Amino acid sequence: MDLLFTLLATVVALGLLVTIHEYGHFWVARRCGVRVLRFSIGFGPALYSWRDRHGTEFAIAGIPLGGYVKMLDEREAPVPEDELDQAFNRKSVKQRIAIVAAGPIANFLLAIVAFWVIAVVGITTVAPVTGPVEPGSIAEHAGLTEGLEILEVDGTPTPTWHDVNLQLIRRLGETGQLQMLAREGQDTPRSFTLHLDSWLRGADQPDPMTALGLTTWKPVVAPLIGQLSPGGAAERAGLQPDDLIVAIDGEPVSDWLGDVVPRIQASAGQPLELTVERDGRTRVLHIVPETREQDGRQTGFIGAGVAPFEWPEHMVRSIDYNPLVAVPVAVVKTWDMTVLTLDSLKKMITGLVSAKNLSGPITIAKVAGASAKSGLESFLSFIAYLSISLGVLNLLPIPVLDGGHLVYYTAEWIRGKPLSERIQGWGLQIGLTLIVGVMLFAIYNDISRLGN
């Protein structure tokens, strides 16, 4: 069932992104007077197709790894004399640039819409308050202590831990000073300077928070079982709702978040002995946590949830905007993530960030499934981030991609004539080789993560 759900979430996510991207090309092409022959979601033979009144064939194909818009073009097939004015290659260079650029632009617009919906619907989250600080860490040397709410990182407001992490990711591989603004309770905010030296340079799976020595503050939650996943390790071991876990392997535990969860996560595939209290009596159960990947690491889980508890009221943050204010918020968010994507790409090329962080279709599918399970806000965020990545990727000046075509057409605009077919052919071969190589490397990374 989990696999089916993951596949469905992946198909929905990629299908939406590809459809929006190709529709951008399609919409502008139609308005530039270009005849569109085929609009296909996926490659290969059509599973289902139909035609509109303009004669355009719309198809859903069997290989869901992209899509394309096929236009009337003399370079691909002979064009009747009376239809030459509808051929793509006969349009002005400015129109061709607009048609090619429309796909990536549509992806950025989709991201804006997704972030706008999130901003209007709103999110309820926990304030980024620090837990125990690792002795001898960068954070401790900077003077950070437990109980500080991080208000800003490098001058950017950070109302959530997600925002804190994004700002930290921007500094991967760098040397210099990282500025944090934080306060304890309602005290006056204080500035903290953290010194970075080639920070996490080349790390395969960087964990910025841990690398700084920071942890998140968590309330003490009694390890009282609230719900069980049907057929999960906990249910098979005999755990029941309202069981209170009092010891693991003979060691007393009193905090679900601080004691039980870390122990289970660190014991994937390893037998554990749970001592539980049930109806006033103590009994011992034997359990083997199952394994799953979380944040790039193999962790254990048992399919059990803690009984409902409430965070302290002063720790809870509700963030939402009215529809008008949400527009610039969504635009700025999309711009910031676009800049972060480009910066990360540059650091990957220069070696500041390990190329092993490059992900392929397997990782995308896993994240799609996980985000869909986490709720609408998480899935929409995933859609927005992936759409931005697709837009940025397609604008790279590599032949085969939209960005490569834009380079050709811009050169034609400047020179007054197109580049020679020989140069374009060389570029096509180089671009195709580069893209296939990157795809294979990304898939290799995916498989390596599964193997680890």
Q: Does residue 358 sit within a domain? A: yes
**Cβ of 372: how many Cβ atoms within 10 Å?**
20
- 272, 307, 342 - which closes a domain: 307
> How far is the C-alpha of 16 from the C-alpha of 41, rounded, in Å?
10
In sequence order, the 6+-apart residues with CB closer than 8 A to the CB of 117 are: 380
Query: Per-residue pLDDT for 451 more than 60?
Result: no
Residue 296, pLDDT above cutoff 60:
no
Going by pLDDT thresholds of 50, 70 and 90, the confidence category of residue 354 is confident
Residues 6+ apart with CB under 8 A from 198: 173, 174, 175
Sequence-ordered list of residues with C-beta below 8 angstroms from that of 275, at least 6 positions apart, any chain? 245, 246, 247, 248, 250, 282, 283, 284
Strands (E), 52-140: 57-71, 123-126
Residue 384 included in any domain: yes
Inter-helix orientation angle 376-395/361-374, to 10°: 150
Q: What is the dihedral of CA 390, 392, 397, 399, to 10 degrees?
A: 0
Residues 266-292 pLDDT 10s = 998 899 999 999 998 999 999 999 987
Does pLDDT of 7 surpass 60?
A: yes
Query: Does one domain contain both 204 and 333?
Result: no
Decide if 225 contacts 315 (C-beta within 8 A). no
Identify the domain containing residue 159 by its residue range.
123-217+311-319
Q: Are residues 434 and 335 in the same domain?
A: yes
What is the set of active-site residues?
22
- 301 and 326, same structural domain? no
> Would you call 441 exposed, middle or buried from its count of C-beta atoms within 10 A (0-12, 13-18, 19+)?
middle
- Most confident listed range (107-121, 371-385, 429-443): 107-121
Q: Taking Cα atoms as reference points, which of 131, 182, 173, 132 lies closest to residue 153?
A: 182
Tens digits of per-residue pLDDT, 125-147?
889 999 999 999 999 999 999 99
pTM (whole model) above 0.85: no
Mean pLDDT in residue range 225-239: 90
Please indicate, yes or no, whether residues 431 and 353 belong to a single structural domain of this protein: yes
**2 assigned to some structural domain:** no
Look at residues 223, 203, 217, 213 and name the one whose alpha carbon lies nearest to residue 180.
213
Tally of CA atoms within 13 A in the half-sphere of 146 that contains its CB: 9
Check whether residue 286 and residue 200 sit in a common domain. Answer: no
Q: How many domains does the chain have?
A: 3
Q: How many CB atoms neighbour CB 132 within 10 A? A: 15
The torsion defined by the Cα of 83, 84, 89 and 95, in degrees rounded to 10, comes to -80
